[in-house]
Structures are given as structure tokens and as C-alpha cells.
Structure 1
Amino acid sequence: MKIVTWNVNSIRVRLPNVTRWLNNHQPDVVLLQELKCLNEAFPRQELEDLGYNVAVHGQKTYNGVAILSKSPIEDITYGLPNFSEDLQARYIEAVVGKVRVASVYIPNGQEVGSPAYVYKMAFLGKLHSHLQHLLTYDEACVIGGDYNIAPTDQDVYDAGVWADKVLCSKPERKAFQALCHLGYQDAVRLRHPGVGPFTWWDYRAGAFLANKGLRIDHLLLSPLATDRLQDCGVDAAPRADEKASDHAPVWCTLNV
């Protein structure tokens, strides 16, 4: 089973890019973030025509997450079940085949200490509690998405420039490590030690051509999923396309 997470930064704007990539790579499960549209505006038919079942948790203009699967999508959860007061569309979870998957879009945080940062940390706390609960299930779980956290200095093109800034601050990194300490593994790091590979590059100042990126999109695997991991990586090629998202797809393959 090939599982992909991709922040598409507006599904309607990027639809030609997304459908072309899906046709070329044929992943079994796709976890999308930052749809920027309501459910009724999501291009369901175009993606169903490619052979995918679709589950969408949309929101006007901002946020939005979705799961695409070539297998039936079952037991769908819209939003973090322990964070019902959160009105933003940032989490969707379901079972596809023998794997429970979730697409998560963690808040950016804007600036350390800001109200948006406080919300981000609250969201991470609720996510931690829920992922801990998922480990009680006898299921392989893959939690993919835009975490908006570069976990270590190796995930940043210039650690000095980003030191203590949002995406790289100590509390954010500690919260990410706390997810891993539950028993989840950072799939890319299991196969790709060292600096990078990056998953996000700013649109400004030629950041992509200079490879001035950050690794903020992740696939976290439960122990049962980790045992089945075959390979994983980042496909940076779509970032070079015309009208590209500023994020690249991150993928893993599991033996299921």
C-alpha cells in the first residue's frame, strides 16, 4: 500500500497538478491538506474518475483536509474527537483496508507567543491525547499531514536563521517529539538520516531553486505500521511545476 500526504495549497488551483501526479504514481491512499474549499466545492467527480473514493472535511477559504483511497473508506471521523470546540477543518481519520489513516493540518502558529501560537500548542496537545488513544486499537495507523514543525536542525536549510522562530521553536519541537515518544515513528527519518529531505519551500526569493527548504510534512507510523514499512521518501519534482503548491508529496509504502 502506497500512502501519500500532500499539502496542495488550494485543491481547485492545483487540480491539474494533482491529477497528473496521481495518474503517474497511482498511490493507494492520499492524505490532502489545505484544500481551501467547502465540501460542495471539492472536485470530487474528477478524483472519483481516477478511481478514488473520497472523504472530505472542508472549510471556506482556509484549511480543509481529505482522504482519497482506492479501497472503501470506512469509520470516518471528522475533526479531532477530543477537540469538539475547534471549528477549523484540520483533521480527518478513517480506515482503508487494513490501515487506519488520518490527514492532519496543524496550525502554522504565525509567531511565537501569539494567539495563533497558543492555539497551535493546544491543538498539538489534543492531537497527542488522541494519538495515544489510537495506540489502544489493534490496527496499523498512519498519521500524515502538514505538521508545520521542523523537528530538528537537520530539517532546516539554515538552523541559525530559523532558531527559535515559529515552526522551529523549542515548545513545538518538544510537542512533536512527544508524539514520537508515544511510540510513533517518523517514517522519512527511518530511511533518510542526515539533512533534509525538505518538503516545503517558500515561493519567495528563489527558495526552491536554492533548496532553502524545511521538512514540515510528515508521516507518523504506529508500531504496527512501522513493522510493515518498506520504503518512504519525498518527491520534490511537483514543486517545480507551473502553479505548484509550495509543499511536496511525502510517501511511504507498507506491506499489508
Structure 2
Amino acid sequence: MARQSGIIPLKGTIGNITFYKTKAGHLAREKGGVDASRIATDPAFVRTRENGAEFGRAGKAGKLLRTAFRALLLNIGDSYMSSRLTREMVKVIQADETNVRGQRNVIDGEAELLKGFEFNSNARLGGTLYAPFTTAIDRAAGTLIVDIPSFVPINMVAAPTGATHFKVLAAGAEIDFEAETFINGGAASAELPIDATATAVMALTVNVTDNTTKPLFLALGVEFYQQVNGALYSLKNGAFNALALVDISGIPAAPNP
């Protein structure tokens, strides 16, 4: 890989050289690698095919999870989030001890490995909201809950420069990775001033299907606003908004016969 220099950057392929643009600038690299038909059929590449199948499955599962939380992710500024989530989803699939390599999947893996995943690596929840909170997932009732005792925002919220208000949000999703469907919901506090006035106790509850057998995901986040002439505006397009998976309940164990 080489960096392009010159007045006019190139895009496309000339001979064996491919020119392309990335966040690191305009780059060039020589074409190479093994022919795709050989990878698809040659026994020497069986591990490559297995890894490729599972990586593709991880990417599809990650996209479904992102879609389930899309309403909040629209206000998150992290361009590498999808690739980071795919990487973690691969670990979930690799934890599948039921199926053989190449056929492992999210359903038989360990979805709980995603707990703590930060959707915005530039503004982590643990470094944004210092107020203690507890979570609970009640499958029988179909509820996902975040409880936050009263706290003083100026002491317990690490607000970026320019922020005058914040909002705490919870989102939950019941995801069917096989059917590629989901049921989601959300709850949020009011927009609160970042000052020395203690907040009310927060009990954020999200409802999904009663007695579901699908994996359940609970996320908690903080959004920041700036007040100008009495109106609140999202701060810097969500660059400082935090959102993380704080509780997960995978597939429940089958009852004993």
C-alpha cells in the first residue's frame, strides 16, 4: 500500500494498480491474492471458506442489531462502530459449542459477550455517566429496566464543552437472528440542565414480548444539548453522545424433560 501524491488523485484500476480513497487519504496498492474460484473449491482453503461464512454471518447479525437500535444510533458519531460490532459478533459466533466450524451462529453462541459494547468509542458511557444504575431483564413480563437513583448532574455527568442540558435514554430490543426481525422500544428522561440540582429517581422501562425465547438487549445512553435562545440543539451532531449495551439475556435454557 502506497500513498498517492500529486495534484489530481486517482480512483479505479490501471493495470495491476488500484487507486482508492480512505480516511487516511488517497492510496494505491497492487492487485494480488488468490483467484476467487480457487478459494471457493480448493480443499486447501476450507478454513478460509469456514471463516468467511462465519464472518458474513457476524456482519449480518451486527447489522440487524444496529437496525434495532437505529433511533439512538442516528445521534451517535462513530464511523468505525459497525466494523467494531462485527468483530465482537465474530467472538459471539466462535463461542458456539454446538455446531461445527463454518456453521456456528449467533443463536448458539454467547450473546452475553456483547455486554459492555460501546457504540461510540469516542464517548464511552463509563466515562460520561458516573451515576450508579442497576438493570433487570424480566422475560416473563417482557420488560427491560434501568433504575437510576437521584444524582447531581454537575458532579455525575462528564459533559463536553458547550453542553447545557442532557438526557438519559434506555432502549431495548428482542431480536430474532434467524428470521432477521426484531421488536424494540425505548424510554427517556426529560432534557435536564447540567447544574447542581438533583435529578428525580429514574425508572426507565422498555416492553417487549412476554415470555419470549429470543435474545434480549438493553442499552443505556446519554445525549447532550446546547440551549440557545430558549431552544435546545443536539451538540455537535452527536459526537459526544454515549450509548452502550448494559445488559443482555441470550437464549434461555430449555426446560428439563
User: For the superposition of Structure 1 and Structure 2, which TM-score range results when normalised by the shorter chain?
Assistant: under 0.3
* TM, length-normalised to structure 2: 0.26
Higher CA-based Rg: 2
Indicate the structure with greater strand content.
Answer: 2
The normalised TM-score by structure 1 is 0.26
